[in-house]
Chain A
């Protein structure tokens, strides 16, 4: 039984081309469903970009005045609004969030810590609209009263940057706290025992050993929180007042990239208007993607990927 000996070179690829029909169907569905996500992402970017490119008037978008009725489509006020509110929110949320995490991970008794962690998770799951409702019904009037007490009569009646920043901070603190707590708990115990043996107090240990060791992870948590603050839409739109201003002042109503989308997308008819909104949506997308990628890169530094 002599045959020309050219034996088959069988590799793993052979297994993929299974004779088995259901396996082939699985492979097909796997590919289709697996690629839904990347394809949708590309479709969204393409969709928005095409709208922008088709109707945009280029540098007109970079002007500082937004007045659709008059054909002004400068988007800078919104960028300012988003950046300012997110930054202020982070300035508040980061220290509080990290300290809360330190409390749960290092200071609190185990039982208290467990309860606290569960409560924190519950708070983190609070829908944005509920936070926005509280912001609108409670925070805004309080801010109005507060500024009256101080003597100024705010144009925004409580709406504006301050309310939006506080609302964002409220939503960001639980995220930062939960992630930071996980990071602190992952630190090896030697980092706590070593300094203790040398006579350091708990807070000295936390300040000079634990927090520096956790720096990368905490930065990742911050990136995550910042990303969330940049992209938060509903709660912000409910308290910010919806009036774009290039130099947001504390008392005046303002607007962010996300709030203008809520307010104007369904009503926009003029192509330049639509293009400007599409450009803003693209900005939101990029903000989200960048902060999320940043958080991933930072946390990958800690974990070892097999």
Chain B
């Protein structure tokens, strides 16, 4: 039976190894492809940064609200709202952002994509922050009250500082997940090639480029997709690794 369990473990990991192997086997590193990877990488980093810039303040303050500021009735509805938002598939979020951001603003944009990704990330950040704040020792809270600190100072200068590594870990996780997401981008950040329409305005993020490249069977496209895949995997691993590191600092 132990062999079966071991085999299961191998089965769980094998496809990933196969993916990497396939990418390594088909990758092409022509100048054009490397250039495309670089601009896609840049677009990915930009997109993820904007996403964090939106999701971090909203998420952390929402977390503070849940943990410290809201009454018990409000907390129930707010937490339910966050849990539900977290369960909505990114493509549906993308459709919503298409309706409320892309159409009014008149076009696809990295910003619209970031909004969709941020909607996905806010629940994670908010619920994690709330949990972390809840775990802060009550003696620290009492100390801040006893010193006569107003609430906003107690929260930002003391409590938040106490949970900073944990929050940073969640942010790194958000960054990692934003790097690989496509569904939320299909109707928001869009790609001119995906639309089949006019000239590209800016490069698309890595995962979107991969999605598009897969449509054409030419060896060059495959090579391009492989190169982007390897770049993406490296990026995601590094971010996830950072998140893990920060989580252990929190101990």
**Do A and B assemble together?**
yes
Binding site for B on A (CB under 8 A): 18, 20, 22-23, 25-27, 29-31, 33-41, 43-44, 47-48, 95-97, 99-100, 102-104, 107-108, 116, 118-123, 125-134, 136-138, 170, 173-174, 177, 202-203, 227, 231-234, 238, 258, 261-262, 265-266, 278, 281, 284-285, 288-289, 291-293, 296
Residues of A within 8 A of B180 (CB): 125-130
Given A126-B16, A137-B26, CB of A38 within 8 Å of CB of B81: yes
Given A22-B152, A26-B155, CB of A292 within 8 Å of CB of B83: yes
Residues of B within 8 A of A102 (CB): 5
Asked if residues A130 and B222 are in contact (CB atoms below 8 Å), the reply is no
29 contacts between A and B (CB under 8 A): A26-B61, A30-B64, A35-B78, A38-B82, A44-B93, A47-B96, A96-B8, A100-B12, A103-B2, A107-B2, A126-B16, A127-B180, A127-B181, A130-B19, A130-B210, A130-B233, A133-B210, A137-B225, A233-B183, A234-B182, A238-B211, A258-B91, A261-B95, A265-B98, A265-B186, A278-B95, A284-B89, A285-B89, A293-B87
Number of A-B residue pairs having CB atoms within 8 Å of each other in the complex:
242
Q: A126-B236, A285-B88 are in contact. List 20 more A-B contacts (CB 8 A).
A: A30-B69, A30-B70, A31-B70, A34-B65, A37-B126, A47-B100, A48-B95, A95-B8, A96-B8, A97-B8, A100-B8, A108-B9, A120-B12, A127-B236, A137-B225, A227-B87, A233-B89, A234-B211, A262-B91, A285-B89
Q: Is the interface of A mostly helix, strand, loop or mixed?
A: helix
Shortest beta-carbon distance, B95 to chain A, in Å? Answer: 6
- Of A41, A134, A265, which contacts B81 at CB under 8 A? A41
Asked if residues B92 and A129 are in contact (CB atoms below 8 Å), the reply is no
Whether, in the assembled complex, B249 has its beta carbon less than 8 Å from a beta carbon of chain A, the answer is no
Given A44-B88, A123-B12, A134-B19, CB of A203 within 8 Å of CB of B211: no
- Of B19, B22, B87, B222, which contacts A289 at CB under 8 A? B87
Expressed in whole angstroms, the Cα–Cα distance for A118 and B12 within the complex equals 13
* Residues of B in contact with A, size category: 35 or more
Residues of B within 8 A of A122 (CB): 16, 237, 240
Residues of A within 8 A of B95 (CB): 48, 261, 265, 278, 281
Whether, in the assembled complex, B58 has its beta carbon less than 8 Å from a beta carbon of chain A, the answer is yes
Asked if residues A266 and B90 are in contact (CB atoms below 8 Å), the reply is no
Residues of A within 8 A of B222 (CB): 137
Whether, in the assembled complex, B29 has its beta carbon less than 8 Å from a beta carbon of chain A, the answer is no
Q: Which residue on B lies nearest to A26, using beta carbons?
A: B152
Residues of B within 8 A of A265 (CB): 95, 98, 186-187
Given A29-B61, A34-B70, CB of A129 within 8 Å of CB of B88: no
Residues of B within 8 A of A40 (CB): 81, 85, 96, 119
- Of B69, B78, B96, B195, which contacts A26 at CB under 8 A? B69
Expressed in whole angstroms, the Cα–Cα distance for A130 and B244 within the complex equals 22
Asked if residues A231 and B240 are in contact (CB atoms below 8 Å), the reply is no
Q: Which residue on A lies nearest to B11, using beta carbons?
A: A96
Expressed in whole angstroms, the Cα–Cα distance for A133 and B232 within the complex equals 13
Shortest beta-carbon distance, B90 to chain A, in Å? Answer: 7
Residues of B within 8 A of A27 (CB): 69
Asked if residues A262 and B186 are in contact (CB atoms below 8 Å), the reply is yes
Residues of A within 8 A of B90 (CB): 233
Expressed in whole angstroms, the Cα–Cα distance for A47 and B88 within the complex equals 14
Asked if residues A37 and B186 are in contact (CB atoms below 8 Å), the reply is no
Whether, in the assembled complex, B74 has its beta carbon less than 8 Å from a beta carbon of chain A, the answer is yes
Residues of A within 8 A of B179 (CB): 127
Given A23-B150, A261-B91, CB of A34 within 8 Å of CB of B8: no
* Top 7 A-B pairs, shortest CB-CB distance: A38-B81, A127-B180, A292-B87, A34-B65, A99-B8, A30-B65, A103-B5
